Structure 1
Amino acid sequence: MGTRVLLTGMGGELGTRVTNLLEADERIEEIVGLDLGPPRGRIPRAQFHLVDPRDRDRTVAVVRDLEPTAVVHLGVYEPGARASGRTALAMTEASALAALGAAAQSPALDRIVVRSGIEVYGRPRGGPQRPDESVLPQPTTAWGRILAQTEEIASEAARAADVALTVLRFAPVVGPHIPSPLGRGLRLPAVPISAVADPPFSLLHQEDAAAAVVRALDTGLDATVNVVGPGAVTPLQAVRLGNRIPLPTVGLGWVAARLACELVGAPLPRHVIELLTRGRGADGAMGQEVLGLDPVRRTVDVVHDLYEWAEVVHLDVAHRGAA
């Protein structure tokens, strides 16, 4: 019997890319995915189920029918990305409880890989700017807390099943086709940034994120690792790279900025404001060492890719009709 992989969050950009990489591996017998939306590309070999993460009964039924030997849990939903804050947090919690809880009962289960984020470290006063895996999580936003909770649920499932658990704490994954509140905010014509500081932050390209997931699944590593793109940029540098207008903001000005961004369809949840005002980074050395895979794209390259977004070309319908 070959490997049977359960992949939650298959419908996202990252989930679709991971699926395509797994489909190319002949050792994998079956790939079954779940998500609230269909995959963003062709999946010739995998099987996809359209399931709301909050639908526990359907989720459990799919997992039990597969009896997975491995789980890749990408079913984490960032507030302001594909759903509003409360909905995203509810879906993330429900997805972890149902999918991982059911998978832990599979007698063939061998390993679990879970996507998390460096937001779990938070940005507490006096805390390290580039925490490594020895730093205890101190999430300071709702998104950081739900990621930490997802890690706890995964740990309980792995202990119950007595299997290896790899937790991948990704730097923010942004790109021109990725639904990300940070990405949307940086693409606005005018971008709010801190008026009193210009702290650096690091990003991760989706190709490097997908490669890390596949590598973690292959190694069966029992560890928690940071996965961060090389280098960093500051909010002002990112805004200038995109030829946007910086809007220095301070204090209550962030309330107005959040309202304005919400009105134009680019919500700024608190973890994004935290990044813009306090920075976001982590030490990825351990992940590079134990996974044997260095992220290729630098943070500045990820920002460049973010701004390579085709402009809308308005067709002159009347002119075309006359022709």
Structure 2
Amino acid sequence: MAGRRVFVSGVGGELGTLVANLLENEPWVGSLSGIDADPPRRRLQRTTFHRISPDDHDTIVDTVTKFNPHVLVHVGVWEPDARAAPRVAAALTDQAAVSVLGAAAECRALDSIIVRSGIEIYGRGPGSLTRPDEDAPLRPTSEWGRTVADIERTAANVAERVGVTVGAVRLASVLGPHVPSPLGRLLRQPVVPFHATTDPPFAVIEHRDAARAIVAAARNQLSSPVNVVAPGAITCLHAIRRGQRIPLPLFGPQWWFARQLSHITGAPIPDHVSEALTRGRLADNGRMQALLGMTPDTSTTEVIDHLYRWPRVIRKQARVPAAEQITPDEVSA
């Protein structure tokens, strides 16, 4: 198995860069290559990076087919209101998926496809305490849920056509110091809204655990979906109190106004985040150990605590160095 060629799409994002970092230390990995519209967030030692826009279909296809990977890791997805507005994010994600996964079908050496997905693929569910497992029906009720469902469907079609395995890593909301996340951005606001009558629980995943899971999926040639969710759960009000924020209780119709106001203040609330805060978002992660050989190191509560410990930008008034200050004599002169 040593010396396998691995191609990573979305390597410029925080999660994609971290995945490539971990893959560089895997003994079974030979050459590594990756693409993204933006450069990697940290130094990569062995990964050949190609800066290509998602809409440059021909260049993407040419780059992937020339590399001819054994394993394709597709994390080139844009969560709504993370790095781009919902419509732009959906368009970029679709362009990248069509180009990258379509190119994979032309690679003769390919034998495994791993795609990033999300537990939003299960939809709202019948209740806030529902923990769907991987066999649950797929009923996405948000734009992000429908997007990851389309990615899984496209990857499955390609895999079936060329006779390779495909695994979907269904992540909970990913939070980390440099991970653009609409949920993380909202929870760090001075005033945070929560559902006053239900305040349902939700779960998240720490960015390093998410990257470890994706690498484990590539190593094990995952051939089925797997839920990757940190143990435990937390409610929005509980998170607000741990972060010493001001809670803003809301009822049904008030959420629409809160979403408009939050967008103006720089923390948009896309529909999948709104669902998590008003209906809950949980999933069963019982198959992680069997399918990936790992479990998360960080619980949901610990992830939230880390969220509130991230450094903040502190603005200070500019000061003129003492040696450069103008004296009263110079002013009178």
TM-score category of the 2 structures, normalised to the smaller one: over 0.9
Helix, strand or coil at the partner of 1:204 = strand
Determine the structure 1 residue equivalent to 2:328: none
Aligned-pair CA distance for 1:54: 2.2
Question: Where does structure 1 lack aligned partners over 5 or more consecutive residues?
Answer: none
What amino acid maps onto 2:255 in structure 1? W
Task: State TM-score, norm by structure 2.
Answer: 0.93
Aligned-pair CA distance for 1:221: 2.2
Helix, strand or coil at the partner of 1:21 = helix
Determine the structure 2 residue equivalent to 1:151: 152
Assess if the C-alpha contact under 8 Å between 2:64 and 2:100 holds in 1: yes
Aligned-pair CA distance for 1:157: 1.0
Residue identity over aligned pairs, in percent, reads 47
Aligned-pair CA distance for 1:5: 1.0
The structure with the larger Rg is 2
Assess if the C-alpha contact under 8 Å between 1:23 and 1:46 holds in 2: yes
Which deviations, in whole Å up to 9, do the C-alpha atoms of 1:159-206 show, x marking residues without a partner?
112111111111111122210000000000001111221111011011
Q: 1:317 to 1:128 in 2, by over 3 A?
A: closer
Determine the structure 1 residue equivalent to 2:50: 49
Counterpart-to-counterpart distance in 1, 2:32 and 2:322? 48
Determine the structure 1 residue equivalent to 2:84: 83
Helix, strand or coil at the partner of 1:137 = coil
Equivalences for residues 121-270 of structure 1 within 5 A:
121-125=122-126, 129-270=130-271
Give the ranges of 4+ consecutive aligned residues of structure 1 lying more than 6 Å apart after TM superposition: none
Assess if the C-alpha contact under 8 Å between 1:54 and 1:90 holds in 2: no
Which deviations, in whole Å up to 9, do the C-alpha atoms of 1:77-97 show, x marking residues without a partner?
100001110010111111111
> Is residue 2:121 matched to residue 1:120?
yes
Which deviations, in whole Å up to 9, do the C-alpha atoms of 1:50-109 show, x marking residues without a partner?
122222112111111211111000011100001110010111111111101111210000
Assess if the C-alpha contact under 8 Å between 2:129 and 2:201 holds in 1: no
What amino acid maps onto 1:67 in structure 2? N
What amino acid maps onto 1:204 in structure 2? I
Aligned-pair CA distance for 1:127: 8.6
Question: Where does structure 2 lack aligned partners over 5 or more consecutive residues?
Answer: 325-333
Number of residues of Structure 1 aligned to a counterpart in Structure 2: 323
What amino acid maps onto 1:64 in structure 2? T
Helix, strand or coil at the partner of 1:29 = strand
Aligned-pair CA distance for 1:252: 2.5
Aligned-pair CA distance for 1:312: 2.2
Helix, strand or coil at the partner of 2:205 = coil
What amino acid maps onto 1:273 in structure 2? S
What amino acid maps onto 2:238 in structure 1? Q
Determine the structure 2 residue equivalent to 1:29: 30
Counterpart-to-counterpart distance in 1, 2:322 and 2:236? 45
Counterpart-to-counterpart distance in 1, 2:177 and 2:322? 33
Counterpart-to-counterpart distance in 1, 2:273 and 2:244? 20
Q: 1:322 to 1:223 in 2, by over 3 A?
A: same
